[in-house]
Amino acid sequence: MNFSDSEIVASVLSDIDYCSTKNADEADIVFVNTCSIREHAEQRVRNRLRELKLLKKQKPLLLIGLLGCMAERLKTKLLDEEKCIDIVAGPDAYRNLPDLIRTAIEGKKAINVFLSPEETYADISPLRYENNGISAFISIMRGCENFCSYCVVPYTRGKERSRNAETIINEATELYKNGFREITLLGQNVNSFKCQENGLFFDFPALIEKVALINSSLRIRFATSHPKDMSDELLKVIAKYPNICKSIHLPLQSGSNNILELMNRKYSRDWYMNRIESIRKYIPECAVSTDIISGFCSETEIDHKDTLSLMEWAGFDHAYMFKYSERPDTLASKKYKDDVPEEVKSRRLQEIIDLQHSLSHKSNKKDVGKVFEVLVENESRRSKDFLSGRNSQNKVIIFPRKDFIPGDYVNIKVSRCTSATLFGEIV
């Protein structure tokens, strides 16, 4: 979401004749787009601001702006503590950036962290300023109303609201005409998308079907889904269209019913397992990835083992795994004690990582000998003689360059693998 927001910001600023640069030394304004989901992310931002403070000493006219969730959450506190900041803009204030910049140029601190119940930026065409020209993100909705007890997103991004479906379809169509061959539909919870327009109702299955029909050579991905909203109807649509990628990210967070209830996840272990069974039923070739939080409040060894057992049962292809990080002003911070010792969190997280490493390797070994259609994306990082791309299951495959270029589709037979990557030959 932050990357998509940065493209919206770039578009807003291009309208007032600013252009982007990768070199902060060349910049007149440096914006830091932030996330508040984990404490580590906020600490990285603080470190980056210290670096920019030194740069500002060399360039006194340099403006420094803070964008996104951290800007909204900490507001004036940041202006007081980080003296180098000139502009603070929350995730719904990007249209106001030209006015905020003018205020900052006049030597005044500029701040707008107002959360809008309607803002979707539907009419702003994102500036794809830093991508491979092949893959693009489309934000289809903003905000969240799930109120998981550990999460700040409902407080920093506001009420859930969906874009007009027609604007999404038009944006995807334009991207395809401009040479993009893969789009990812983004939202805090994409499968709760709903839109009423011109007497027609669009839910997420209806929307993704419309986007898939733009062209069969346009790949469609989406992130992120909430297990409580993962319907059989959506799975049937994914199964129906070859260009809707057979990869679903379905955050688990914990395999323990007790912890899931404390997290306010709104589903049980059995519900989650039922959704995995439905994915396997309708889309047997589908890859499933997930999120896991280790060491949530009051988590016991039994709770931890419940997570490990569900991971093993599901056989996840990939996972994002983290230690619990208490975020201020969330329900968990107000209601529960962060009582799992740090060393226990770390040990449990390592066990989760070790298990997932094994599961990922096992999944990849099953692909050896299979042929996949791969969308060429970039050169391999290790050698210009090889290219890199992903299959429908979102797995990276490395293969000989030959005459292919980014944007081409090529059939690759997998010859070997690691836990993270597949390697193959052109067939």
Helix H, strand E, coil C: the string for 81-97 is HCCCCCEEECCCCHHHH
CATH of domain 278-365: 3.30.750.200
Q: Could you please state the CATH topology (level 3) that the domain comprising 131-245 is classified under.
A: Transcription Regulator spoIIAA (3.30.750)
How far is the C-alpha of 388 from the C-alpha of 135, rounded, in Å?
A: 13
- The mean-pLDDT minimum among 43-57, 290-304, 307-321 falls in 43-57
pLDDT at 1 over 80: no
How far is the C-alpha of 57 from the C-alpha of 46, rounded, in Å?
A: 17
Domains 131-245 and 278-365 share a fold: yes
What pLDDT, on the 0 to 100 scale, is given for residue 130?
67
DSSP string, 345-405: HHHHHHHHHHHHHHHHHHHHHHHTT-EEEEEEEEE-SS-TTEEEEE-TT--EEEEE-TT--
What pLDDT, on the 0 to 100 scale, is given for residue 277?
98
pLDDT, average across residues 64-78: 82
Residue 115 · residue 92 · CB < 8 Å = yes
20 vs 218 pLDDT, higher one: 218
**135-146: per-residue pLDDT in tens?**
999 999 999 999
DSSP string, 194-260: EEEETTEEEEHHHHHHHHHTS-TTSEEEEE---GGG--HHHHHHHHH-TTB-SEEE---B-S-HHHH
What pLDDT, on the 0 to 100 scale, is given for residue 7?
93
pLDDT at 349 over 80: yes
pLDDT bracket for residue 38 (50, 70, 90): confident
Domain assignments of the chain as residue spans, ordered by start: 2-112, 131-245, 278-365, 371-426
Q: Could you please state the CATH topology (level 3) that the domain comprising 371-426 is classified under.
A: OB fold (Dihydrolipoamide Acetyltransferase, E2P) (2.40.50)
The proportion of the chain whose per-residue pLDDT surpasses 70, expressed as a percent, equals 100
- The mean-pLDDT minimum among 37-46, 179-188, 413-422 falls in 37-46
CATH of domain 2-112: 3.40.50.12160
- The mean-pLDDT minimum among 125-129, 169-173, 318-322, 348-352 falls in 125-129
DSSP 8-state assignment for residue 116: P
How far is the C-alpha of 234 from the C-alpha of 207, rounded, in Å?
A: 10
